[in-house]
Amino acid sequence: MMNDEMLHYVDKSVLCWLATIDEGGCPNVSPKEIFCACGQSELLIANIASPGSMSNIQRNPLVCVSFVDVFVQKGFKVKGEARVIDSTQREFVARAEPLARMAGERFPFASLFVVNVTRVEPIVAPSYRLYLDTVESVQVASAMKAYGVRATGF
């Protein structure tokens, strides 16, 4: 489901946004810092201080996860079904390993969300659709100016 371009956005994103459905049927969006792709059909997300997301997923597994590069103003929306794996389950250690490496000691977690991807859609800023001559370099320059940041050499 997730191609190389989509996986690139997952790898370079600092945050993803997990949308779940609460007990009243209302959408709930929560930022997540520790996440990764597992192959081309799963996302793993560490459950760090997210009791609402966890209870929502346990009640209704339908989720949407968004990744957006705020400078390029493009990204992807991933829809799927999620499940919670906690530290009492046999598969937890193996599934949590890549997330634990990213989290380090700073962000301990005792459960994670596994999102089985069913659909992927692009997210594109309106300017790309309204002005067909829009190019990424111009979008990046405009966003950097708007956010008051400058590119640096690494």
Of 12-16, 26-30, 54-58, 91-95, the one with minimum mean pLDDT is: 12-16
Token code pair at residue 81: 């079904």
Total H helices, total E strands in the chain: 5, 7
Name the amino acid, one letter, at 75: G
How many other β-carbons are positioned within 10 Å of the β-carbon of residue 69?
19
Better-scored residue on pLDDT, 138 or 52? 52
Question: According to the model, what pLDDT value does residue 141 have?
Answer: 86
Q: What is the pLDDT of residues 32-61, one digit of tens each?
A: 999 999 999 999 999 999 999 999 999 999
Model-wide pTM > 0.85: yes
* SS3 category, 125: coil
Query: What is the overall mean pLDDT for the chain?
Result: 93
Q: Token digits for 52?
A: 């609402």
Q: What are the structural domains of the chain?
A: 4-125 (2.30.110.10)
Residue 56 buriedness (CB in 10 A; 0-12 / 13-18 / 19+): buried
Distance CA(35)–CA(134), nearest Å, equals 31
